[in-house]
Amino acid sequence: MAILKFRVYWEEDDAIYRDVMVKHTQHFTELYQVILKSFEFDQKHQGTFYRSNDIWKRGREISCEVYDKTYQAPPLLMNETLIGSEIIDTNQHFILEYDFLKSWTFLIQLIQVIKNADADMNIEYPMVSRIEGVGPMQYGTKGLLGKTFADIEEKYDLSEAADGFGEEGEEKEHDEDAEDGEDKTEDEDSQEEGGAFFEGEAF
């Protein structure tokens, strides 16, 4: 048995990547799950791996299931395909596309093969061994808050409050101006009353 270490880049920024480690006897399902976990993505959408080469050209698919689309060759299934069976060189490449509507794309490269004698068998695989850079948000801030944010919006009617903010702000500003006027008058009176105190030589 061997441990395979893959470096997984977010396609849009190669400074953002995760290193993940799997046993060569594990299935692509485990690799799929650990990659999504490492980028803090859920598993609610469809996804597929592609065999790839050094220039990231997409080859045969390794999918969660057979999707309703046209294939050049029938896809392999993640839960039936061993990761080790698809490693044909020491620099093996794969591409993972997740959520076909948003097309999140991750570039995967084999960077190390650890033989059984050197592997730490006390570790539970698959695992994330390194995290570099802040990954993309799968849904954005509002999506991360989910139903809670929607409930707050409905309860306090945040959209309506935003529309009326200008009027309220103007009113408040007007009141502040009035208060400033009163303060100013009081200050002027104080200066007139206390002005004599400062008459004479300066310190």
* Average pLDDT score over the chain: 80
Cα–Cα distance for residue pair 183/126, rounded to 1 Å = 69
- Count how many Cα atoms sit within 13 Å of the Cα of residue 93 in the half-sphere of its side chain: 12
User: What is residue 140's predicted lDDT score, i.e. its pLDDT?
Assistant: 75
- Is the pLDDT higher at 173 or at 118? 118
**How many percent of the chain have pLDDT more than 90?**
61
- Is the pLDDT higher at 86 or at 140? 86
The answer to whether the Cα torsion of 176, 179, 185, 189 is positive or negative is negative
> Alpha carbon 72 to chain centroid distance?
32
- Is the pLDDT higher at 38 or at 172? 38
CB 17 within 8 Å of CB 132? yes
**Across the beta sheet with 104-115, what order do the strands follow?**
76-77, 58-63, 47-52, 93-98, 104-115, 2-10, 13-23, 127-132
Question: Above 70 in pLDDT, residue 161?
Answer: no
The answer to pTM > 0.85 is: no
Cis peptide before 126 (omega within 30 of 0): yes
Confidence of residue 87 (pLDDT cuts 50, 70, 90): very high
- Is the pLDDT higher at 122 or at 43? 43
Determine the average pLDDT of the residues in 120-136: 92
User: What is residue 193's predicted lDDT score, i.e. its pLDDT?
Assistant: 45
User: What is residue 119's predicted lDDT score, i.e. its pLDDT?
Assistant: 76
Question: Above 50 in pLDDT, residue 21?
Answer: yes
